[in-house]
A and B are shown apart, each in its own frame.
Chain A
Amino acid sequence: MTLSICRALLALLLFVAPGLLQAQSSDAPVQKLLQAHAEVIQKSSRKTIGPAIDALAQSGLPEAQTVLEQWQAKDMWFNRDTGLFVFASKADGGLRVFDISDGAEIGVVDKKNYKQLKPNSGIRGLIASALVQFQLNDPDPLNRSAALTAIERDAEPSHLSALRGAIAGEQDPDLRARKNRLERLLTIRFDDDAAARLAAIDSFAGDLGVDVRATLNPLVTSEIKVSDTVPDGAVTIKAGSDELTQKQAYDLLVENGLAPALVDDGTIKETLISNIDGDRVAGVQVASLDEDAARQAAYQLLADQGLAAPLVTQDDIAEAVQQYKFYRVYTSAPLPVALAAQAVLDNIETQVALNQTADLVLDALSLASIYFLAAIGLAITFGVMGVINMAHGEFIMMGAYTGYVVQLFIPDLTLSIIVAIPCAFLVTFGAGVLLERLVIRWLYHRPLETLLATFGVSIALQQLAKNIFGTQARPLTAPAWLDGSMVLNDIVSISYIRIAIFVLALLFLALFLIVMNRTRLGLEVRAVTQNPRMASSMGINPDRINMLTFGFGSGIAGIAGVAIGLYAKVTSEMGSDYIVQSFMTVVVGGVGNIWGTLLGATMVGTLQKGIEWFNPSNTLAAQTYMILFIILFIQFRPRGIIALKGRAAEA
């Protein structure tokens, strides 16, 4: 084959090469083939072009691919006089033409003699799918991959054989796997052999790919039909079941002209109105028709007079439905294939549910880590010190805005985040120390007063942020390496930013544990919170410790603000979105215990995601029910999870 092509090319060269302008081989195989279909090619209609493209694609000619590509690129012209096809490009006011069989330049010619082929997008699509088989065997793996993608997107029956032919020669294992998978998918869709289809269907049992479900779902489309007898290959359905209610069954009968249409209230009304005669309808006073029963009676009178279609009663419906058989037919596949597809789909459904649960758990974990981040500062100020700081949410907001401001000055996203974290810590640490010095210090052991005063601070800070940054949300952009998500399969995936937040939450936990249990500060903090008088007599300055602890808790809130800002929008109200949940987290977990806060966050996060799962369209409802649940939980376990565990363990 190759040899003969070489020979032909050689022959062509010998003929054409000697600078013979206009001279062009009219008997090259590809030119012949095109000439055979010249009429439809020149006409360029999507409806008729099929055979021409198929002939080219299946000709086995080496030039076929080039011809198709040039045609698709609108670089193919034909000579108005000879009808021969050429490749051409505009040049020097004329047209530079090339031979389609070997690509040799023929010369620059007058444009007038040639007409461009302008395939419309429909035809280009057909050409593209015809080209696929060539690309499947392309030496460049990238092209092969692109071809597979093209088939995946828009498969044709013709691709099946092309694909089958392209598997054996494939060396790249990944591409080979893809080809194999695609071949099975196409088998399901296009193969005529039922056994092959069944085998392919069964091979996908438990596969989570979206493509599998997209392939199988059309096979199980079905219709409910009605007739006197149930034909072969149909599944009988009982009218009056969940699958087909009595009403639906009757509607089906009406649709098929097998029963008279129901007369609904609207029809009754219209019929009555159109039959009004003076102040009466069918002898009944119009003024008395203000009840459905009266209207039906009047309508009945009209029907009796033959002025309206008779009413259909419940008995009529039951009787009509009784007379016919209802059955389900699978419209897109023979019954065995459809049933097999259904079985595999059901199986996949179970797998999907399992994986969705896994996905849900991941979601819940990431939400939990966000709540944990938001709450960990509170775990310090409220949990350890017992200071209730309602402006905590505003510290989170401050941290987020600090991140935003830093990004204004440092365009490099990665660097800006690295700078923003300590900045946020410093800003909120300072704000925390200030708040502690100016307000909270005077209100120790007066929790309700602290709560109210910090509310005042919270209101003021929120409005201040609004005055400075405006009401619209400000972006805090994550660096590119945090974009995208880790995909485990078509169902389970988790965005990198959530992973980062999760890791950050773990880091914070570690930081908290180290600071509280391993440092002098932690020791002093614990001493001061347990017995301030004793601590101060040991040379610890409780004032200083309280100030630092509060600053530390506030600073952590600031860092959390940066993290939350990356994940959500930065607004002046973002703090108040988290404050109630944060307190809930701390209280549910058990005040004064960081592990409790962790458990609390996990519980709150899981709960919210769990409720959302039941009612995915409505996150508001999920939050409502979550809060209600927490309220109930606190009623029964006022000391939180950890306190409960501790007692149970020691009892």
Chain B
Amino acid sequence: MVDMTSTASPMRKPFVLRYPSVAIFLIILALFTATITVLGEGFGIGLISTSFVKTLGKTLCLCLAALAMDLVWGYTGILSLGHMAFFGIGGYAIGMWLMYARTEIIVIESLASSALPPTAQEISDGIATQIFGVVGASEFPPIWAVAHSLPLQLAAVVLVPGLLALVFGWLAFRSRVTGVYLSILTQAMTLALSLYLFQNDSGLRGNNGLSGLQNLPGLDSVPQSTVSILFFWASALALGLGYLVCAWMVSGKFGSVIRAIRDDESRVRFLGYSVEAYKLFIFTFTAVICGIAGALYYPQAGIINPAEIAPIASIYLAVWVAIGGRGRLYGAVIGAAFVSLLSTWFTGGQAPDISLGFYTIQWVDWWTILLGLSFVAVTLFAPRGIGGLIDKFAERRAPDRHGADLGPDLGSLREKEADE
């Protein structure tokens, strides 16, 4: 939000009108969605390819994850390096159903021609052999117990990341692990999870991951061009709703409390707020958002494997939010969209190589270096990120403060540390 501090008068105007930036964002998102629909192959004139629509849809999901990251880091000051793990878990949860249901259709079809009608056990064995053949197993691991049920797996999209975040957060916040320690701890959690999933006997096909997720069970007749637009809509809707909810959360007293926690958590304790409960709430809530974003992302990506959960993914999430501008919801969205699309452009080999005469810079190789260095540069020189530029553009320059320079951009800096 551009200026959350203007909760001046107790006006009861509708929420969106009180915060014009939310309205602007939603309008831009709606226009964007409409434009893509018109230009896409599914329902429109086919000016942009299905794969590009998918890329854009995926980007919207990443924006949603970045929104969650901004809430937990930019607003509450918890630099979590584990939120892409929740994103991945959401993807796995929906992927299990997609894979199960589609394989079930295939297996039933293939068994239909056999002499005897298949028993339930035979169908189940057939599905298991199909799915787990690559890891040399032919039985369903216990975690697939509810894979046959879409509602239950959808519940898992929300519940599994939520519960994991709840347990992890409870342990971490309870023992007052903060700052970089918490970051390292969340990174360790992510690493542990991805290492676990890399095992063949993890029950999720080891490093093969889940694949064929772009094919919706029973909708083989619907072309991918249409499916991609449907998912694009769903992603846009999720992002819009997520933005609205996040904006609502940070606009009121709750937002005030979490920003206070970010800036001086012990002071908040002495005001009688249970800092741990707030952190846990935000951590869990954002984990759930990430789970949902992941559940929308991976059917568009088509495949999920443990590498997606590796710690580096969560670091990139932090990079996006930092580049976009912390402590501003639109900053997170801009950062995620800008960097991930740029990334796709550069690593997709579309960017022209630069010839220096003695050496040719191939962006496929050099993009990561450029990204890493520009990230350093942003941290050093433009801690407000792209959002900061927008602030300047909108002439909403932050007032010249006399006190210590606290706030989202210097999230971890506390006055007492500065004085030490």
Same assembly: yes
Which residues of A sit under 8 angstroms from B272, Cβ to Cβ?
none
- Count residues on chain A whose CB falls below 8 Å from chain B CBs: 55
A 345-369 contacts with B by CB, 8 A: none
B 72-118 contacts with A by CB, 8 A: 79, 115-118
A483 to B86, CA, bound (A): 45
Q: Are B177 and A455 in contact (CB under 8 A)?
A: no
When C-beta atoms are compared, the residue in chain B nearest to A454 turns out to be B376
A286 to B116, CA, bound (A): 6
Interface secondary structure of A, over-half rule: helix
Q: Are B188 and A459 in contact (CB under 8 A)?
A: no
Which residues of A sit under 8 angstroms from B413, Cβ to Cβ?
445-446
* Given known A276-B115, A287-B117, contact A452–B379 (CB-CB < 8 A): yes
Name B365's contact: one of A388, A445, A457, A466 (CB within 8 Å): A466
* A443 proximal to B (CB < 8 A): yes
Q: Are A634 and B185 in contact (CB under 8 A)?
A: yes
* B372 proximal to A (CB < 8 A): yes
When C-beta atoms are compared, the residue in chain A nearest to B413 turns out to be A446
* Given known A273-B115, A459-B368, A638-B176, contact A632–B188 (CB-CB < 8 A): no
* Given known A443-B379, A453-B380, A627-B195, contact A463–B372 (CB-CB < 8 A): yes
The digit string for A489-505, where 1 denotes a CB below 8 A from any CB of B, is: 00000000000000000
A150-158, A199-207, A580-588 - interface stretch: A580-588
The digit string for A454-470, where 1 denotes a CB below 8 A from any CB of B, is: 01111111111011000
A 247-295 contacts with B by CB, 8 A: 269, 272-273, 276, 286-292, 295
B41-49, B57-65, B229-237, B315-323 - interface stretch: B315-323
The digit string for A407-433, where 1 denotes a CB below 8 A from any CB of B, is: 000000000000000000000000000
A1 to B184, CA, bound (A): 85
A631 to B183, CA, bound (A): 12
* Given known A439-B380, A446-B412, contact A460–B369 (CB-CB < 8 A): yes
The distance from the CB of A586 to the nearest CB of chain B, in whole angstroms, is 9
The digit string for A615-639, where 1 denotes a CB below 8 A from any CB of B, is: 0001011011001101110111010
Q: Are B376 and A627 in contact (CB under 8 A)?
A: no
Which residues of B sit under 8 angstroms from A580, Cβ to Cβ?
184, 187-188, 191, 311
Q: Are B188 and A467 in contact (CB under 8 A)?
A: no
* Given known A620-B195, A621-B196, A627-B195, contact A443–B380 (CB-CB < 8 A): yes
The digit string for A70-86, where 1 denotes a CB below 8 A from any CB of B, is: 00000000000000000
Which residues of B sit under 8 angstroms from A462, Cβ to Cβ?
368
Name A273's contact: one of B116, B185, B187, B376 (CB within 8 Å): B116
* Given known A447-B180, A455-B375, contact A467–B366 (CB-CB < 8 A): yes
* B302 proximal to A (CB < 8 A): no
When C-beta atoms are compared, the residue in chain A nearest to B412 turns out to be A448
Q: Are A456 and B375 in contact (CB under 8 A)?
A: yes
Q: Are B199 and A456 in contact (CB under 8 A)?
A: no
Q: Are B368 and A445 in contact (CB under 8 A)?
A: no
Which residues of B sit under 8 angstroms from A451, Cβ to Cβ?
79, 180, 183
The distance from the CB of A242 to the nearest CB of chain B, in whole angstroms, is 23
Name B191's contact: one of A272, A289, A443, A627 (CB within 8 Å): A627
* A15 proximal to B (CB < 8 A): no
When C-beta atoms are compared, the residue in chain A nearest to B183 turns out to be A451
Q: Are A456 and B179 in contact (CB under 8 A)?
A: no
The distance from the CB of B185 to the nearest CB of chain A, in whole angstroms, is 6
A453 to B180, CA, bound (A): 13
A465 to B325, CA, bound (A): 30
A172 to B198, CA, bound (A): 56
Q: Are B372 and A459 in contact (CB under 8 A)?
A: yes
Interface secondary structure of B, over-half rule: helix
Which residues of A sit under 8 angstroms from B371, Cβ to Cβ?
456, 459-460
B 364-400 contacts with A by CB, 8 A: 365-366, 368-369, 371-376, 379-380, 383
Q: Are A587 and B181 in contact (CB under 8 A)?
A: yes
The digit string for A126-145, where 1 denotes a CB below 8 A from any CB of B, is: 00000000000000000000
A620 to B315, CA, bound (A): 22
* B355 proximal to A (CB < 8 A): no
Which residues of B sit under 8 angstroms from A627, Cβ to Cβ?
188-189, 191-192, 195
Which residues of B sit under 8 angstroms from A447, Cβ to Cβ?
179-180, 412
When C-beta atoms are compared, the residue in chain B nearest to A462 turns out to be B368
A273 to B113, CA, bound (A): 13
A516 to B374, CA, bound (A): 36
Q: Are B375 and A453 in contact (CB under 8 A)?
A: yes
Which residues of B sit under 8 angstroms from A463, Cβ to Cβ?
365-366, 368-369, 372
A636 to B116, CA, bound (A): 59
B167-175, B239-247, B273-281 - interface stretch: B167-175
A600 to B193, CA, bound (A): 22
A295 to B119, CA, bound (A): 9
Q: Are B181 and A638 in contact (CB under 8 A)?
A: yes
CB-CB nearest 9 A-B residue pairs: A460-B372, A456-B375, A448-B412, A459-B372, A463-B368, A627-B192, A290-B117, A456-B376, A453-B379
Known: A448-B79, A463-B366. 13 other contacts (CB 8 A): A269-B116, A272-B115, A273-B116, A286-B117, A295-B116, A451-B183, A452-B375, A460-B376, A461-B372, A462-B368, A624-B192, A624-B196, A627-B188
